[in-house]
Structure 1
Amino acid sequence: MAPHTSNSTDDETDSSLQTSSVHGYNASAFHQRCNRQGPTLQLTDDSLLNPFIFTSSGSPHFQGKIPVCFKVNSGYNARIDDTGVPNFGQQLYFCYNNQPVVYNSGSNAVSLNTATMYGNDTQLSECEVYKVNAIHKQWRNVLWTANRRDELMEMIRNHKPLVTSVSRVRILMIGPVGAGKSSFFNSINSIFMSRITSKAMSGSAGTSLTTQFRTYPVKDGREGKPLPFVLCDTMGLEEQSGAGLDIEDISSILQGHVPDRYKFNPMAPFQPDEQKASRPASLQEKIHCVVYVIDSTRISLMSDKLQEKLASIRRKVNSLGIAQIVLMTKVDEACPLVEKDLQSLYVSSYIKSKVQEVSSRLGVPVSCVLPVKNYSQELELELNCDVLLLTALQQMLNFADDYLDDVCSMEDNVF
């Protein structure tokens, strides 16, 4: 038995890829069936039925029950990708010259004794290659269970902001056009309404469908009481000046001056009336957590101008000490493995690389980047979507508490 690796993909299944006695002993048959299949296991029997194993660190050989290790010498590869036959260290070849034989080139790549390994009998009775179902470790721990969903919903229902003067946490959603800000609200609202809802306008238009500043409370069911948070939706960011949400408008929103349903004017930022401008907004009216909503399929396509806009916004938010999170949407569209099974999200190396990329581009810690899938085309709620969305919302509430706690500490020091 010999593990033989090739270019891997995230989507891996157990299967027999090639059997030489069936598919042929020629190199083209091997490469056609085995290339780009991820890790594979090659089983080869000579006429004496002696099995053997190659690994990246050596080649254990089982003769009876005693393992024998054949080490790969320094400077040589245990396996190489080329158009030739399966080989190990470019020394030991199988199905050599399109024949059912094993061939030892005699190079110094592997210190082996062919008499010990296969009795100097070069004839092969069979050569098979199997795909290995690799075991991936989750890079974040998530419980994909109904109990966990119910637990998160209960935590959110019972959340009480740290400051008694604040009855509901205000969470501001900021992001490019089409990233999924309004869809996130609709998704959260759907979970607590126990059905798919579409209260906020959302879609895939080239320009922002949100033209007003909207504050969306969420009820705990149709007849339920309002939950202890408000999601604030804004016009989408656009890279060119004079279009999309103005950075000055964001500053006014953060400080609690902009009223619900204020219609944005990209050519002229919000101006509070004299009476409101003369007094600072209450803590209840201010924003307690900022969420940047980023489309995971477009992270690498983010323009320099848009990145500069986001950096300017972050500087303003930082100056006010407001907690910040990145919501990375459309993860199912970004990765086929996740599209097939949302529970594969935190074993996907591709999604992990996107989380790291957006962390680097926006200058936020990796722990503050939360991948989610909004409800967009579904007609029914799905457990895995609910768990991701509720986990993200709970983290927003936690971060808002951090901000409120910091505000209280500063006020205590003043007095």
Structure 2
Amino acid sequence: MKKMKNNLENIEPLTGIGLQHYNILLLGVIGAGKSSFYNTVATVFENKVKDIAPTAEELSSVTNEVHAYDILNENGDKINIKLLDIRGYEEERGYEHELDLILDGKIADGYEFPDKSPARDDIIITNTNPTINDQVHLVCLIVDSTKFKIQSDKMVDQIDTIKKLIRRRGLPLVAVATKFDHLCPKISEDADHIYLSPKAKDETSAMSETFGIELRHIFPIVNYINDHEEITPGKNKLVIEALHSMMQITRDHLFHHRGALRDEDNSWSMRVKRLQVCRSNEHRENEIKDLCQEMSDDNTLRVLCYGPVNSGKSSFIDSIMSLLTGKIVSRATGGYSKANSNGTSKTEKFQMYQLKFKSEPGKTNTSNVFFCDMPGIQDKEGVKLEQAKLIVKGHVPNKFKIQNKSIDKDSKHFVKDAGSMCKIHCVCFLFDISNIETLTETFKETCKRFQWWLSNKDIPYVVVVTKGDQTSTAVRDNALQIYENKLIRENKDKLIEYFSFKESKIFPVRNYVHENQTLPEIDALLLDALKEIVSIGYEYLGDNSGDESVVSDSSTDDESSSDQE
């Protein structure tokens, strides 16, 4: 049940059709429990009894408007599912032309139903240009299990008319059966008993026959009614299973009938399938073996980690070393998990870390790959762009305390004769993907200028986005959910918008920060990023082998000498 709930809380809109959220329309006779169903859903996800939608045991409909309700989680974040509640139908008052317009999204949230059914021309259309986000994607009929068999001919006609309108649009129709706790005292005491009750089974089968809805598309639930009710796992389970099934049906409908792309058709989501998740030590060693052979090349590869303060640069370096050795390493971070409280970087030096790898049990080898750490970029003080360029050119010595210290060609520690093996061959831009909004305009401009300079030098770079686990519990529980999370996707798109990064060069990872052992899912993400870094780094070295002019001090450092756009 926990997994289903997490899936619903983190469900993403299908791509390719402009979808932002899923719309479920609740229909039912007066008193069937439509509004109570929404309140129950809200209760399950917010973990406290909610009474948002008005309810009452009345002969006339309590709901007399179109209400589009959001579902919130315990943190108050919206889930990508909306429940549309409208007035209940009755013998003398159906939906006539109104339902057509609601299904099409032309009658929006807040529409008031008149006492009598209006003529089509008398209905005020509140949304003349509806999009797929206004339209209904699934219709859920709410049925009172204690009364559905007692229906007049007029009521049967109303239901038939409603079903025809829904079927004409090809929309999926399901039913939620309420008030089973009124039928059986044991269900009232324990909602789980609904699966064992012959009465509940018989009534559900009869409902399927009466309304012409497949038995597997009828979901029994028990609503939360009173504020003082205790929240129980049994009631929660019924609601979560019902909503989870509705989402599967809705997504299948949108894929087959609206041209939506499934997750496997989306290039970003698809990338999770290429990851090598090593569940055994043997699998892990074999997967890393070829990469380690490449990292033992005679040529030295240096990779610079560059990004704003608190972007996870030092933790990323430690995590890469943890991946390769199979045990948690804290060399670059020194055991710290965050930047200083005043927003300055804990890293003060430019420092190189030589990667080591575990080639076989009990044996650790040294590679020719160095990951280089530097202080995080700040708007004021800290490392300036020109100093970053000097690091790339090889003029800054290892372990030089560069934070708030200038260095130039006249400085005592300036490395004058920097050969190609002293220079940076690949840059890794790092960003906290959970907090892209905090990037300042000053940093964005500095980063763009550095990008341009690297491109002008033909120095390759990749983008690593960290801290995806801070976006949701789903990503915390399973690192591979990082490709499914809505906020991560949105912030990834913002990075592309800000810096024109290629999506194929953006690698989401989860750093080892509080873990005490390596995990297959986290390793898989780190390995994917490392493979790309090593590949493009050595490709650059191969293309420029023996060329001492690489990353040279030339006029091309003058950004005004070329068009930066």
TM-score where L is the length of structure 2: 0.54
More strand by share: 1
2:40 match? 33
1:333 corresponding residue in structure 2: 470
Separation (CA, whole Å) in 2 of partners of 1:171 and 1:190? 17
Tell me the equivalent position of 1:269: 407
| 302, 310, 313: which one aligns with 1:178 | 310
Question: 1:78 Cα deviation (Å)?
Answer: 8.4
| Structure 1: segments with no counterpart, 5+ residues | 1-7, 13-19, 42-71
- Write the mapping of 1:25-64 to structure 2, written as runs, cut at 5 A: 25-34=32-41, 36=71
The residue number in structure 2 matching 1:380 is: 517
Q: Which structure 2 residues correspond to residues 265-414 of structure 1 after superposition, within 5 A? A: 265-266=403-404, 268-271=406-409, 279=417, 281-408=418-545
Q: Give the structure with the higher percent helix.
A: 2
Deviation sequence 1:263-319 (CA, Å, 0-9, x none): 11535234366997664x222111111001101111122111111111121122112
Relative contact order higher in (CA < 8 Å, ≥ 6 apart): 1
Counterpart Cα distance in 2 of 1:159 and 1:123: 63
Match of 1:256 in 2: 394
Amino acid at match of 1:225: N
Alignment-derived partner of residue 104 in structure 2: 77
Shift of 1:381: 1.3
Distance 1:268 1:290, change over 3 A: same
| Cα distance in 2, alignment partners of residues 325 and 266 from structure 1 | 27
Shift in Å, 1:38: 6.4
Q: Distance in 2 between matches of 1:275 and 1:89?
A: 66
Percent sequence identity is: 22
CA distance change for structure 1 residues 216 and 80 in 2, over 3 Å: closer, same or farther? farther
Q: Spell out, residue by residue over 1:60-113, the C-alpha distance to the aligned partner (whole angstroms, 9 max, x if none).
A: xxxxxxxxxxxx9799438988699xx9799996559x974674495895576x
Whether contact under 8 Å (1:239, 1:305) holds in the other structure is yes
Structure 1 residues 78 and 230 mapped into 2: Cα distance closer, same or farther (>3 Å)? Answer: same
Q: Residue deviations 1:138-178, cap 9 Å, x none?
A: 4312232336643442122100588x5x2x21000001111
Match status 1:144 vs 2:308? no
1:93 touches 1:104 (CA, 8 Å); kept in 2? no
Match of 2:337 among 185, 198, 203: 203
Equivalent pair of 2:321/2:329 in contact (CA under 8 Å): yes
> Aligned pair 1:132/2:267, yes or no?
no
2:128 alignment partner in structure 1: none
Alignment RMSD, CA only?
4.4
CA contact (8 A) 2:295 2:367 kept: no
Q: State the 1:347 CA deviation.
A: 3.0
Deviates more, 1:192-201 or 1:314-323: 192-201
In structure 1, how many angstroms separate the alpha carbons of the residues matched to 2:403 and 2:332? Answer: 20
Q: Structure 2 regions of 5+ residues with no counterpart?
A: 1-7, 13-26, 43-70, 72-78, 84-98, 113-134, 174-206, 222-241, 252-262, 549-565
- Contact 1:212/1:262 (8 A) holds in 2: yes
Counterparts of 1:307 and 1:369 in 2: how far apart (Å)?
A: 17
- Corresponding residue for 1:9? 9
Contact 1:248 1:269 in 2 (8 A): no
Q: 1:99 to 1:235 in 2, by over 3 A?
A: same
2:410 and 2:521 map into 1 onto residues whose CA distance is 43
More displaced stretch, 269-278 vs 186-195: 269-278
Q: In 2, are the aligned partners of 1:218 and 1:229 still within 8 Å (CA)?
A: yes
Scaled by the length of structure 1, the TM-score of the pair is: 0.71
Cα drift, residue 185 of structure 1? 1.3
**Could you tell me whether the CA contact under 8 Å between 2:277 and 2:523 is conserved in 1?**
no
Alpha-carbon contact 1:253-1:287 (below 8 Å) kept: yes
Q: Is 287-296 or 181-190 further displaced after alignment?
A: 181-190
Quickly say closer, same or farther: Cα 1:269–1:405, change in 2 above 3 A.
same
Look up the equivalent residue of 2:460 and give its one-letter code. Answer: A
Q: How has the CA–CA distance of structure 1 residues 219 and 405 changed in structure 2, closer, same or farther, with 3 Å as cutoff?
A: closer
Q: Aligned with 1:188: secondary structure?
A: helix
Matched residue, 2:323:
191
Specify the code of the residue in structure 2 equivalent to 1:77.
D
- Is this contact kept in 1: 2:33–2:142, CA < 8 A? no
Matched AA of 1:203: S
Amino acid at match of 1:155: D
Note the C-alpha offset of 1:362: 2.2
Q: For the Cα contact (< 8 Å) 1:170–1:287, is it kept in 2?
A: yes
